[in-house]
Amino acid sequence: MKYRYVSDSHIHTDCSRDASDPAMMMCESAVRLGLYSLTVTDHCECNVYSEEGYDKSTLQSYFEAKKAAAVFGGRLHVFAGVELGQPMQNRQAAEKILDACGFDFVLASVHNIKNKEDFYSLNYSCEDVDRLLERYFDEILETIDWGRFDSLAHLTYPWRYIVGEHHIAIPAERWKGRIEEVLKALIKREKALEINTSGFRQSLGVSIPDLPILERYRELGGKLITIGSDAHRWADVGAGIEQGMNVLQKAGFSHYMVYESHQPNALPIG
């Protein structure tokens, strides 16, 4: 590997319904690759928290991560995290699960806006994309204001589907101001920005967010970056992380963060 400290702070295990491999296998894969650390961040979709059993699966994920940390101790740092989806659509559920588990790391995500399906499954020929994106940024800003998370996952997630899958162009200029609002809010609240490397292995072809946004975050004074593959199977553990680190270097970052007990530990990119 090109870098001394390679960590993956966004992976899903079989405690997420769209992923298939147990935490132990994900960790084994990380050890084989020589990763420094792995943070388990299974889905907890707050808007369908009890209806879809996220109360149980998130608790299960937390215990599996703790078990894996004990088994892999000395070979790999394993942290227990969660990807909290749409916390603003059920704040009570979000706070309940955070109070129940002593997570090291909390990612906040917006996969769908209120009363809409996931951006993944929307029919864009019948949607007003501008209106959807306005609401997407509103909900992210509301989440940052709430503040019970460590890092904002995959900012510009809708681009993965709108641009990557449906080939609908989104003019960068149009959303520059709203993106800047998000970056400034993160910096003000001392929250991290994630670089999600799943875009490299999907049709989007770039990290989420991409280089210009990461550069802007740094220019505005942002220092807290986390990095994750968003692997949903053992074969994707660590995927694109070094490529993501190249992008971070280009954007002018010398370190990225790995969180333990919600505290950022800086690791060098070099």
Parallel, antiparallel, or unpaired: how do β-strands 263-268 and 37-45 relate?
Answer: unpaired
Q: How far is CA 253 from CA 12, 72, 192, 229, 270, in A?
A: 26, 30, 13, 18, 10
The residue count for the chain? 270
Name the residue nearer to Zn ion (CB basis): 61 or 109.
109
Give the shortest CB-151-to-Zn ion separation in angstroms.
Answer: 12
Name the residue nearer to Zn ion (CB basis): 218 or 232.
232
Give the shortest CB-252-to-Zn ion separation in angstroms.
Answer: 26
Backbone torsion region of residue 31, taken as left when φ is above 0, otherwise alpha when ψ lies between -120 and 50, otherwise beta: alpha
Check whether the bond before 158 is cis (ω within 30° of 0): no
CA–CA distance, 185 with 221 (Å, rounded to integer): 11
Give the shortest CB-65-to-Zn ion separation in angstroms.
Answer: 15
Name the residue nearer to Zn ion (CB basis): 64 or 230.
230
CA–CA distance, 203 with 181 (Å, rounded to integer): 27
Token pair 């928290």: residue: 49
Give the shortest CB-219-to-Zn ion separation in angstroms.
Answer: 26
Give the shortest CB-10-to-Zn ion separation in angstroms.
Answer: 6
Name the residue nearer to Zn ion (CB basis): 146 or 250.
146
Name the residue nearer to Zn ion (CB basis): 64 or 83.
83
8 is written with which tokens?
């993956």
Name the residue nearer to Zn ion (CB basis): 85 or 222.
85
Q: How far is CA 76 from CA 3, 4, 5, 144, in A?
A: 16, 14, 11, 31
Q: Residue numbers of the site for Zn ion (CB under 5 A)?
A: 83, 109, 230
Name the residue nearer to Zn ion (CB basis): 230 or 236.
230
Give the shortest CB-235-to-Zn ion separation in angstroms.
Answer: 16
CA–CA distance, 163 with 102 (Å, rounded to integer): 37
Give the shortest CB-200-to-Zn ion separation in angstroms.
Answer: 15
